[in-house]
Amino acid sequence: MNLQCETCPVRDSAACAVLTPEERDAMAAAGRTRTLRRGEMLFAAGDEDAACATLVSGALKVSAIDADGNEQILALVHPSGFIGELFAPFAHHDVVALTESKLCTFARGDFERAIDDHPALTRALLRRSQEDLLATRALLELTGHASAEARLAALLHDFAAAASQSSCHLAAEFDLPLTRGEIANMLGLTIETVSRKLGDLEDSGAIARKGKRGIEVLDPALLHDISGR
């Protein structure tokens, strides 16, 4: 399907927002929208000419499979995020939809041409790339030293912050975008530990569990405190 930039929910926040309307229309002609269902893969590690894409809605995970076949989640992608390995000959990681997701995809070659033609776009991607770098380093910091409970508290805190649009406040209630197994993979823990520590956090009064996915933040300050940041 062709792109409909006029009605795109991330038209002001995605990388393409820096383009003039004319430039944007030119790019739109090369792009296609695509919808992924939960669990569907955008591309796999090793793929050549993996597509470039902007996430319009939903959520993706970037993950690697280690030697023993265990998945490790390296990053989450939220709407207006960019995905694509522009300079590597092949993709280094898998990219999979966590929920039903809409993307705006471009062939690698088309996107590289756009970068050459539009310095502002390159600049926007550089900015985004640096933000990704900071996010990855934040995760590294977290998984490096912190206890299981602190890691989990920090992740819940981040999710709560992401769920509320007003970056400074936490959402009082939200649904986990990840299964227990995915949370475990992301934090370098096991499913069982995640389950147990969620129980502990509930006992401590920081959160309440609403069914399998739902989380209610009862005490944001306590949650922040446990996360140790």
Partner DNA sequence: CGGCAGTTTGACACAATTCAATAACAGTGG
Partner DNA sequence: CCACTGTTATTGAATTGTGTCAAACTGCCG
Q: What part of residues 140-169 is at the interface with a second copy (CB under 8 A)? A: 140-141, 143-146
Mark 117-132 as b/e (b = at least 16 C-beta within 10 Å): ebeebbebbeebeeeb
With a CB cutoff of 8 Å and minimum separation 6, the contacts of 75 are: 61, 62, 132, 135, 136, 139
Measured from the CB atom, the residue of 118 and 197 that comes closer to DNA is 197
Q: Does 173 bind a second copy (CB under 8 A)?
A: no
> Distance between CA 76 and CA 222 in Å, rounded?
25
Span from 19-27, 30-38, 139-147, 160-168 in contact with a second copy (CB under 8 A): 139-147
Q: What part of residues 129-168 is at the interface with DNA (CB under 7 A)? A: 147-149
Which among a second copy, DNA, none contacts residue 92 (Cβ within 5 to 8 A by kind)? a second copy
One-letter identity of residue 97: A
Which among a second copy, DNA, none contacts residue 52 (Cβ within 5 to 8 A by kind)? none
Helix (H, G, I), strand (E, B) or coil at 59: coil
> For residues 63 and 45, is the Cβ–Cβ distance under 8 A?
no
Span from 49-57, 88-96, 121-129, 190-198 in contact with DNA (CB under 7 A): 190-198
Measured from the CB atom, the residue of 1 and 168 that comes closer to a second copy is 168
* Interface with DNA (CB under 7 A), residue from 193, 206, 217, 223: 193
Phi/psi for 111 (5° steps) reads -70, -40
The one-character DSSP state at 48 is B
Q: Does 205 bind DNA (CB under 7 A)?
A: no
Residue with tokens 């996010």: 135
* Interface with DNA (CB under 7 A), residue from 3, 194, 207, 217: 194
Q: Please report the DSSP string for 103-122 in residue order.
A: EEEE-HHHHHHHHHH-HHHH
Q: Report the interface residues with a second copy, using CB under 8 A.
A: 62, 64, 66-68, 70, 72, 74-75, 85-88, 92-93, 115-116, 119, 122-123, 125-127, 129-134, 136-137, 139-141, 143-146, 185, 188, 228-229
Q: Report the interface residues with DNA, using CB under 7 A.
A: 147-149, 179-181, 188-199, 209, 211-213
